[in-house]
């Protein structure tokens, strides 16, 4: 178990497009374990590999604290509806902004055993999936936020 340093907005690594993962290696396995530890330590609901400085298409998501999802090479294949609400990011500490996202998404990905999986979600889970997949293409929610970011006292639901 290791907590990794979370990169913050302004760090170039957060603007890069990440590379597909082609095989599970001890190094990738360790990265995934560290990403989960780092997400929980920071009270986040999601974390993408570039946020810990690694340009691989890997995200971890857990919107309840009891239901971790590991998504390797995720792709959103369906989306519908709309939700508008506050969104935060562990790479933009202490802030949130209003972002409109689909209310439902379905993603396909590989799990930590490199087996194909599907993950469907609504509301916060749908938002988290979209937010994390954006990270893999070098995008932060601040690009999509409506109006100025606001300061938050309690950093909840950050990804």
Q: Smallest distance from the beta carbon of 126 to Ni ion, in angstroms?
A: 15
In the structure encoding, which two tokens stand for residue 148, read together? 């100025």
Alpha carbons 138 and 158: distance in angstroms, whole number: 17
User: Which range binds Ni ion by CB under 5 A, 16-24, 57-65, 85-93, 122-130?
Assistant: 85-93
How many other CB atoms are there within 10 angstroms of residue 127's CB atom? 27
Q: Which is nearer to Ni ion, 41 or 116 (CB)?
A: 41
Residues annotated as catalytic (active site), given as ranges = 132
Q: Smallest distance from the beta carbon of 128 to Ni ion, in angstroms?
A: 9
Encoded tokens for 159: 């990804």
Residues 6+ apart with CB under 8 A from 40: 62, 65
Cβ proximity of 100 and 126 under 8 Å: no
- The smaller minimum CB distance to Ni ion, of residues 52 and 89, is found at 89
- Binding residue for Ni ion, selected from 52, 59, 61, 89, defined by CB under 5 A: 89
Q: Which is nearer to Ni ion, 89 or 130 (CB)?
A: 89
> Both tokens of residue 47?
């974390």
Q: Is 60 in the site for Ni ion (CB under 5 A)?
A: no
**Inter-residue contact 114 to 97 (CB < 8 Å):** no
The answer to whether residue 159 forms part of the interface with Ni ion (CB under 5 A) is yes
By the rule CB under 5 A, 18 interacts with Ni ion? no
Sites of contact with Ni ion (CB under 5 A): 89, 159
């Amino acid at each position: 178990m290791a907590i990794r340093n979370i990169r913050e907005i302004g760090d170039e690594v957060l603007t890069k497009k990440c590379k597909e993962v082609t095989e599970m290696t001890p190094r990738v396995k360790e990265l995934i374990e560290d990403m989960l530890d780092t997400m929980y330590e920071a009270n986040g609901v999601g974390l993408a590999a570039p946020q810990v400085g690694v340009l691989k298409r890997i995200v971890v998501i857990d919107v309840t604290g009891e239901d971790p999802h590991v998504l390797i090479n995720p792709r959103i294949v369906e989306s519908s509806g709309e939700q508008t609400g506050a969104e935060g990011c562990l790479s933009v500490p202490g802030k949130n902004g209003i972002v409109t996202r689909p209310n439902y998404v379905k993603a396909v990905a590989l799990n930590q055993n490199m087996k194909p999986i599907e993950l469907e979600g609504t509301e916060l889970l749908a938002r988290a999936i979209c937010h994390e997949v954006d990270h893999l293409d070098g995008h932060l929610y601040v690009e999509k936020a409506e109006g100025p970011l606001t300061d938050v006292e309690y950093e909840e639901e950050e990804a």
